[in-house]
Structure 1
């Protein structure tokens, strides 16, 4: 359950409507809309080898497990084109984000794009400063010139279309234990390749009109005198 302090109502509404207005745009290969989000992945392995299924007997897995650390998944998804790609990294620092944003801008898929609209949450690493920390000023400026960054509001990361895609990835790739970053990367790569082949899109239902009805308490009240 998310809660928005009253003093943040106006800022939330403004940011929300900006994001939703982006989602109203028709597909345009010259100005593609790409959503980005990231998610930690806990790596755990079996403390004892599982016993396989046998005729008349189910498989058995010991409830104890061994912690193998963490890794991080950076998700990029173009909802109207049915394309996504996920990168698994050891860390999720500002430099990691900067290098993946450079990868996105330089991706052959967007070679003819005039500008990429990037929708992401307002995590402190998702900023121009991260690019200038990672690259020379000329390169950072070049990358920024290709981007229109649109942030979801604070307490409103659920407005990011990459979130449901991460949820699908988690359910379909990590229903059992994964003990290494290499195994996590292998599963995720096969997963997004299959979804890209099917051109699975995202059927986003929440519109500006819905927001003005369902979240009307957040909108300023104009008192007539």
Structure 2
């Protein structure tokens, strides 16, 4: 166990943390904490094949802050096998009251919602469980007009994975620039792409851009076909753009 993990176990709520540590040892469970969340699985031990399909994840809230995976995971597994469980954590070592659980099959996720929405996990704490809204589309704004759809698709496939579809329109906010809507094969792929793009220089071929989840208003515009055709322009020197 790392020094950071030991310090976490030695802080507040020691009794419940001791039970968690014993459960991890008994069940040979590994948990990884990063970026304010602690994760089990993704994939779990012995998993073969790709990640479960869209619709297999549930969102859980109203968790008592002092309980941990040793109480939550066995409860959820009574509905079906878990592919991944993510518990949001505070710096003080308590959970933030909500979590995400991805099952290996959609019908197990549906069963979890049916069984555990309203389940009293502790006196005074009835869980709220619903299907997770798994976003899989990003919007990139302020795309210069010299990047046409095909070129931009090649560029994005080179720096992100599992891109399914890219659409290009005139930006509704930035005059003379374009907006790209990019759909990925899964929420995980989209989240990784967003993280990668946001952690970089946020430059595309030397041009600044904004990277966000596809907004509700833009999704409505997309569904109703209200976006305008993308702008086109050609710089004087193409060789400077792709060095």
Q: TM-score, normalised by structure 1?
A: 0.26
**Greater CA radius of gyration, 1 or 2?**
2
More strand by share: 2
Q: TM-score, normalised by structure 2?
A: 0.25
Which protein has greater RCO, CA pairs closer than 8 Å, 6+ apart? 1
